[in-house]
Amino acid sequence: MGIIFHEQEKTFHLYNKEVSYIIRVMENGQLENLYYGKVIRDRESFMHLHEAISRPLTSVCVPEPGVLSMEYTKQEYPVYGTGDYRSPALSILQENGSRIVNFTYVSHEIYQGKKSLSPLPAVYTNNEHEVCTLEICLHDEVINTDLILSYTMFEEYPVITRNAKLVHKGEESIVLDRALSMSVEFQDMDFEMVHLSGAWARERYVKERKLEMGIQAVQGIHGTAGGAEHNPFLALKRPDTTESQGEVYGFSLVYSGNFLAQTEVSTFNMTRVLMGIHPEGFHWKLETGESFQTPEVVMVYSDRGLNKMSQVYHRLYRKNLMRGQWKEQPRPILLNNWEATYFDFTEEKILSIAKKAKEAGVELFVLDDGWFGARNDDYRGLGDWYVNLEKLPDGIAGLSRKVEEMGLKFGLWVELEMVNKDSDLYRAHPDWIVGVPERFESHGRHQHVLDFSRKEVVDYIYEMISKILRESRISYIKWDMNRYMSEPYSRGLAAKDQGKMMHRYILGVYDLYTRLTEEFPEILFESCASGGARFDPAMLFFAPQTWTSDDTDASERAKIQYGTSYVYPLVSMGSHVSAVPNHQLLRITPLSTRANMAYFGTFGYELDLNLLSEEEMAQVKEQVAFMKKYRRLIQVEGDFYRLLSPFKGNETAWIVVSPDKNQAVAAFYQRLNKINASWLRFRLEGLDKDTLYEVKCNDTVYRAYGDELMYAGIPVDRELLNKEGGDFASLLYVIEKAEP
Ligand code: DGJ
């Protein structure tokens, strides 16, 4: 790994054993990208990769006889108004009404390690020798502003992280109308854009589309979340790239607010990728001495398909993004009461569910929505973070003590960013909600968004919730967020600062997370937003797991978990076994399939185990025991390979393999059963071809070498599938190294 600077041609070569990234300072002082892709050897000059030609209709940006034009140049950080008519990364409004800027190279610094972007979350290093960073300082003389572009290269991963920072020194103020985190350009357009899109209960479906000339983008502009609609991620893959082979470039934004992830293909067939805070509604004024830090983008290059890209994200996010005591730790098996009781519970009922959970071997009981204020339905109570003594006469302190005395840990649900109008908090502070005075304020799920761009609001919520955490025995918090922001306006900000509101809101959320995680480091936080509407890398920095979806149907989960795994590690995916008929789809799936799906995540239950038969309860005990045995492999150590896609057919399959390749757990799921059907086989990946393995599936056991399992595959036994229930049946394979 290294970053080499070639003085003569002012060229930077960032490289490790897998990837090269080459930048040069052009004759106009701006930066050009010469190459991004599979590692190439270093050379004194890469000038042959620069192409310039005189074309009709172009604006030339160097004196005659030069021909350089920004229109067809692969720029590192394009700005508005230069003769480049594609979308820029930066646009700055100045006091004279101009938006023209010219940032030119001044200096650079190369160092080991990586700086924190606090208060923004970002990937960090465990040891400064695992990365090196290049910071390039560019300057615009007229407005007297520095632009610092940072690139961090990892030794072990084909990863480059990027961010941009503006430091304003001029006398006159400037306004950032657009300040994205990065731009990357490719010489051609022979790509498919891959993104993760959907809606509530069908989050992060895999979508692929061929790039065409013009703009294609995904975005989130609801302020409080990347959203169920589009994840802050996109990848560019070659048309023949599959899960296991071919080139792909991944871009993942470490941010939870409004975002833009855009590709633009020029009429010269060049592709530009832009990513960062969405410019819509963004208007950030900088006075002398002030600066603006953009969030980080994590770029992954893989020449071995989408699985390799995902494995890199998984490892990096497990080891260099998640923090605290739960980093790289197997997760407690929990039981959550939401689908068991919804709002309708008493202490007695809760304790009876917890008792049965303990009997099954569950380790953590989680009390979901409905324990506070007048919260007997979703019309009231949000904001009143004190216990409802009618339901829980001994308070959370008493209940948590009783649950702990049973031998379980206790967890609690909160939704700190929201308020119902029917609450003491709203009655006391009606001006604390987001919205424009004298205009209609939209509601969602009967609730309003608290204005976390104001420090006094965050302080107040912190005081209320930290009191409960101090007084009770709480080991886990589920931090929910159940509506998007509308009418974004802060009653606490001056008119000139309204364009800062949505970013400041997210900084307020990060501030509260920071205070709570620092004061209560032992608590495991799980983020949630109407299911999986805020599943982003920034959340994982604070809460190392996220509720993946409100859709708990095991068969639907195949798609949701498959798509989520493109970027997010299994240990971050909240996954529960729920009751049948399923509450979202009314579908009946076998108990074995519900567990076989939930194993590939944090694993837990979301039903009243008292309602199960003795036989089912015995099965649950076996499931809990299985997960205790294999969770370290599945959640913490293993590499995950997607094998069959639920987006392409009736079957889904995947496998987790230990780093030493001695152990693996694979799963095969079908949707509908088939009669008199053809043979069915699926090929494993990640095993050692020369190792002899023992493969166990239910009561059948056989031996096979890695090469057989990977190249010939596993024949799926349809009779076993029938025994497991036919429709929506699944099979789990435990594969361990055997003595020859
Ligand atoms: C939405 C979450 O996704 C659910 O799991 C549950 O916690 C409800 N909110 C509670 O209101």
Q: Which residue bears the tokens 């739960």?
A: 326
Whether 85 has a pLDDT exceeding 70, the answer reads yes
Place of tokens 């140049």: 73
Helix (H) or strand (E) holding 455: helix 455-471
Q: Of the given ranges (52-61, 328-337, 478-487), which has the lowest mean pLDDT?
A: 52-61
Residues involved in catalysis: 480, 550
606 has a pLDDT exceeding 70: yes
Cα(482) to centroid(ligand 1), Å: 8
Residue whose CA lies nearest to ligand 1 atom number 9: 530
- Alpha carbon distances (Å) from 554 to 390, 431, 563, 734: 36, 43, 14, 20
**pLDDT tens track for 338-358:** 999 999 999 999 999 999 999
Structural contact between residues 224 and 473, judged by C-beta atoms closer than 8 angstroms: no
For residue 327, report the phi and psi dihedrals to the nearest 5 degrees: -60, 130
Phi, psi (5° rounding) for residue 261?
-130, 105
* CA of residue 203 to ligand 1 center, whole Å: 15
At which residue do the structure tokens 């970053």 appear? Answer: 3
Pairing of strands 259-265, 31-38: unpaired
- Asked whether the predicted pLDDT for residue 224 surpasses 80, the reply is no
pLDDT on residue 227:
82
Q: How far apart are CA 313 and CA 232, in angstroms?
A: 14
pLDDT one-digit tens code per residue, 513-537: 999 999 999 999 999 999 999 999 9
**pLDDT confidence of residue 393:** 97
Mutation pick for ligand 1 pocket among 480, 525, 547, 552 (CB with most ligand atoms within 8 Å): 480
Determine whether the shortest distance from the Cβ of 339 to ligand 1 is under 6 A. no
Distance 624 CA to ligand 1 centre (A): 24
Eight-class DSSP state of 128: G
- Residue 380 CB contacts under 8 Å (≥ 6 apart), including other chains: 373, 374, 420, 422, 423, 446
What DSSP line would sit under 59-122, residue for residue?
Answer: PP-S-TT----GGGS-BSS-BTTSS--SPPSEEEEETTS------EEEEEEEEES----TTS--
Q: Is 726 left (phi over 0), alpha (psi -120 to 50) or beta?
A: left
* Residue among 547, 560, 578 to mutate when testing ligand 1 (max atoms within 8 A of CB): 547
| Rounded Cα–Cα distance for residues 225 and 533 (Å) | 7
pLDDT attached to residue 112: 97
Give exposure, 428-439, as e/b (b: 16+ Cβ within 10 Å).
ebeebbbbeeee
Q: Which DSSP helix (H) or strand (E) runs through 545?
A: strand 545-547
Cα(479) to centroid(ligand 1), Å = 9
H or E element at residue 653: strand 651-657
Query: How far, in Å, from the CA of 578 to the mean position of ligand 1?
Result: 14
Span 545-560, pLDDT tens digits: 999 999 999 999 999 9
* Closest C-alpha to ligand 1, atom 1: 530
What is the sign, positive or negative, of the torsion defined by CA atoms of 61, 66, 69, 75? negative
480 lines ligand 1 (CB under 6 A): yes
Q: Is the CB of 413 under 6 A from ligand 1?
A: yes
Q: How confident is the model at residue 53 (pLDDT cuts 50, 70, 90)?
A: confident
108 closest CA partner among 50, 29, 199: 29
pLDDT level of residue 135 (50, 70, 90 thresholds): very high
- Tokens standing for residue 293: 């830090």
Average pLDDT over residues 392-418: 98
Atom of ligand 1 nearest to the CA of 547: 3
Q: In what order do the strands lie in the sheet with 284-286?
A: 90-94, 174-179, 284-286
Q: Is residue 98 within 8 Å of residue 45, measured between CB atoms? A: no
Q: How far is the CA of 424 from the centre of ligand 1 (A)?
A: 22
Residue with CA at minimum distance from ligand 1 atom 10: 369
CB-ligand 1 contact for 457 (6 Å cutoff):
no
With 0-12 / 13-18 / 19 or more C-beta atoms within 10 angstroms meaning exposed / middle / buried, residue 655 is: buried
Domains of the chain: 2-320 (2.70.98.60), 334-521+575-637 (3.20.20.70), 644-737 (2.60.40.1180)
Mean pLDDT score, 713-726: 96
- Give Cβ neighbours of residue 614 (< 8 Å, ≥ 6 apart): none
Retrieve residue 467's tokens: 């009191």
CB 528 near ligand 1, within 6 Å: yes
Q: Which helix (H) or strand (E) holds 627?
A: helix 614-631
What local confidence, expressed as pLDDT, does residue 449 receive?
97
Distance from the alpha carbon of residue 102 to the mean position of ligand 1, in angstroms: 49
Distance 549 CA to ligand 1 centre (A): 9
Counting ligand 1 atoms within 8 A of each CB, the residue from 530, 552, 557 with the most, and so the one to mutate, is 530
Reported as a single tens digit per residue, the pLDDT across 426-455 is 999 999 999 999 999 999 999 999 999 999
β-sheet bridge partners, residue 476: 411, 524
Tell me how far CA of residue 739 lies from CA of 690, 700, 705, 736, in angstroms: 12, 18, 11, 10
Element holding 541 (H helix, E strand)? helix 537-542
Contact between residue 532 and residue 546 where contact means Cβ atoms under 8 Å apart: yes
Measured at the CA of 552, the angle between CA 643 and CA 734, to 5 degrees, comes to: 40
Q: What is the mean pLDDT of residues 193-222?
A: 97
Q: Which amino acid is at 212?
A: E
Read off the pLDDT band of 740 (50, 70, 90): confident
**pLDDT confidence band for 52 (50 / 70 / 90):** confident
Percent of the chain at pLDDT exceeding 90: 98
What sign results for the dihedral spanned by CA atoms 708, 709, 710, 712? positive
Gap between the Cα atoms of 378 and 384, Å rounded: 13
Please state, in angstroms and rounded to a whole number, the distance separating the CA atoms of residues 234 and 259.
12
Structure token digits, residue 61: 């940006």
Question: How many other C-beta atoms are found inside a 10 Å radius of the C-beta of residue 401?
Answer: 14
Indicate whether residue 530 lines ligand 1 (CB < 6 A): yes
β-bridge pairing 604-606 and 576-578: parallel
What is the rounded CA–CA span in Å between residue 181 and residue 451?
A: 25
Mean pLDDT, residues 304-308: 98
3-class DSSP assignment, residue 165: strand
Q: How far apart are CA 629 and CA 633, in angstroms?
A: 9
Residue 369 Cβ < 6 Å to ligand 1: yes
The answer to whether residues 127 and 216 touch, using CB atoms and an 8 Å cutoff, is no
Ligand 1 atom closest to 528 (CA): 3
Assess whether pLDDT exceeds 80 at residue 226.
Answer: no
Which helix (H) or strand (E) segment is 718 a member of? helix 718-723
Please say if the pLDDT value at position 54 is more than 90. Answer: no
Minimal CA–CA distance to 185: which of 60, 50, 340? 50
Mean pLDDT of 312-327: 98
Contact of 3 with 21, CB cutoff 8 Å: no
DSSP 417: T
Longest Cα separation, the chain: 87
State if residue 326 touches ligand 1 by the CB under 6 angstroms criterion.
no
H/E element, 447: strand 447-449
Reported confidence tier of residue 336, pLDDT bands at 50, 70, 90:
very high
φ, ψ of residue 591 in degrees (nearest 5): -60, -35
Please, is 64 exposed, middle or buried when counting C-beta atoms within 10 Å of its C-beta (0-12, 13-18, 19+)? exposed
Q: Please, which residues have CB within 8 angstroms of residue 382's CB and are 6 or more apart in sequence?
A: 373, 375, 415, 418, 419, 420, 423, 425, 447
Q: Is 551 in the pocket of ligand 1 (CB under 6 A)?
A: no
pLDDT in the model for residue 223: 87
**Encoded tokens for 377:** 């339905």
List the one residue out of 191, 202, 200, 197 whose CA is nearest residue 218: 197
Cα-atom radius of gyration of the chain, to the nearest Å? Answer: 27
Nearest CA to ligand 1 atom 11: 369
Confidence band for 225, pLDDT divided at 50, 70 and 90: low
In this structure, the number of other CB atoms found within 10 A of the CB of residue 56 comes to 4
Q: What is the mean pLDDT of residues 281-291?
A: 98
